[in-house]
Structure 1
Amino acid sequence: MRRHRRGTRQRGARSLACALVAAGLSLQPATAQVPPEFRFPAEEQQAARKLAVVGGLAGVRLYEDHERVFWRTILPKLTGGRLAADIVPFDSSGIRGQDMLHLMRVGVVPYGTVLLSLAANDEPELAAPNLAMLAPDLGTLRRVVQAYRPHLAALLKQQYGVEMLAVYAYPAQVLFCRQPVSRLRELEGRRVRVSNSSQGDAMRALGATPVVTPFAEFVNEIGAGRIDCAITGSLSGNELGLHRVTTEIHPMAIAWGLSVFGANENAWASLPTDLQQIIRRGLARLETDVWASAGQDTEDGFLCNSGRPGCRFGSLGEMRWQPSISPEDETIRRRLLAETVLPAWVERCGEDCRSAWNTYLAPMTRIFLPPPAPPSARPQAGSATLIGVPPASMTPPASSSTSSR
Structure 2
Amino acid sequence: MPRHTALLMAAAGYLVMSGTAYAADLPKTTINVVGNLGITTQSKKLEAPFWNKEVTEKSNGAITANFRPWNEMGLKGSEVFKLLSQGVMNIATAQLGHHSGADPIIDGNDLAGLSDNFEQFHAVSDAYFPVLQKYYRENLGLHLITMQSFQDQVLYCRDDITSLKDLAGRRIRGSGASQADFVGYFGATPVDVSFGEVQPALEQGVLDCAITGTLGGYTAKWHESAKYLYTLPLNFGAGATIANAEWWDGLAPEVRDFLTTEIEALSDRMWAQNAEEDIIGTQCNTSGPCPFGDPAGMALVEPSEQDVALRREALNNAVLPGWIKRCGDICKTAFNDNLSSLTGLTIK
1:252-291 equivalence runs, <5 A: 252-291=232-271
| Secondary structure of 1:266 counterpart | helix
In 2, distance between residues paired with 1:344 and 1:46? 47
CA distance in 1, matches of 2:333, 2:25: 51
Which of 297, 317, 328 is matched with 1:339 structurally?
317
Q: 1:276 to 1:340 in 2, by over 3 A?
A: same
Kept in 1, the 8 Å contact 2:170–2:208? The answer is: yes
Q: Is residue 317 from structure 1 mapped to residue 296 from structure 2 by the alignment?
A: yes
Match for residue 98 of structure 2 among 118, 123, 131: 118
Structure 2: 5+ residue stretches without partners: 1-19
- Report the CA distance between 1:46 and its aligned residue: 7.6
1:235 paired residue number:
215
Offset of 1:337 from its aligned partner? 0.6
Deviations 1:207-226 (A, max 9, x none): 22333334334333433445
Q: Residue 263 of structure 1: SS of its match in structure 2?
A: strand
Q: Does 1:330 align with 2:308?
A: yes
Corresponding residue SS for 1:86: strand
CA contact (8 A) 1:238 1:314 kept: no
Q: Which amino acid aligns with 1:204?
A: G
Number of equivalenced pairs: 328
Contact 1:238 / 1:315 at 8 angstroms: preserved in 2? no
Which residue number in structure 1 is paired with residue 282 of structure 2?
302
1:159 to 131, 134, 139: 139
Shift of 1:71: 1.7
Instruction: Confirm or deny that 1:360 pairs with 2:301.
Output: no
* Aligned with residue 347 of structure 2, among 336, 344, 369: 369
Number of the residue aligned with 2:68: 88
SS at match of 2:233: coil
Report the counterpart of residue 179 of structure 1 in structure 2.
159
State how far apart, in whole Å, the 2-side matches of 1:220 and 1:81 are: 43
Question: Quick one: distance in 2 between partners of 1:80 and 1:127?
Answer: 38
Match of 2:178 in 1: 198
Cα-to-partner distance string for 1:245-303 (whole Å, 9 max, x where unaligned): 33321121212222211222332233333332222221111001111222222222210
**Structure 1 residues 191 and 105, CA, compared in 2 at 3 Å: closer, same or farther?**
closer
When residues 225 and 49 of structure 1 are mapped into structure 2, their CA distance, relative to the original with a 3 A threshold, is closer
- Alpha-carbon offset, residue 228 of structure 1: 2.8
- After superposition, the Cα gap between the structure-2 partners of 1:214 and 1:108, relative to the gap in structure 1 and judged at 3 Å, is closer
Name the TM-score, length of structure 1 as normaliser.
Answer: 0.74
Distance 1:229 1:46, change over 3 A: closer
> Is 2:226 the counterpart of 1:246?
yes
Whole-angstrom CA distance in 1 between matches of 2:26 and 2:109: 42
Contact 1:300-1:313 within 8 A present in 2 as well = no
Written as runs of structure 1 = structure 2, the 5 A alignment for 1:9-158 is: 48-93=28-73, 97-158=77-138
Distance 2:224 2:181 in 1: 28
Displacement of 1:180 in angstroms is 2.8
Q: 1:131 to 1:314 in 2, by over 3 A?
A: farther
CA gap 1:244/1:212 in 2 versus in 1, 3 angstroms: same
> Letter of the aligned partner of 1:74 in structure 2?
E
Bigger share in helix? 2
Change beyond 3 A, Cα 1:348–1:224: same
Cα distance in 2 for residues equivalent to 1:46 and 1:353: 40
CA distance 1:65–1:366, change in 2 (3 Å): same
**Contact 1:78–1:278 at 8 Å: present in 2 too?**
no
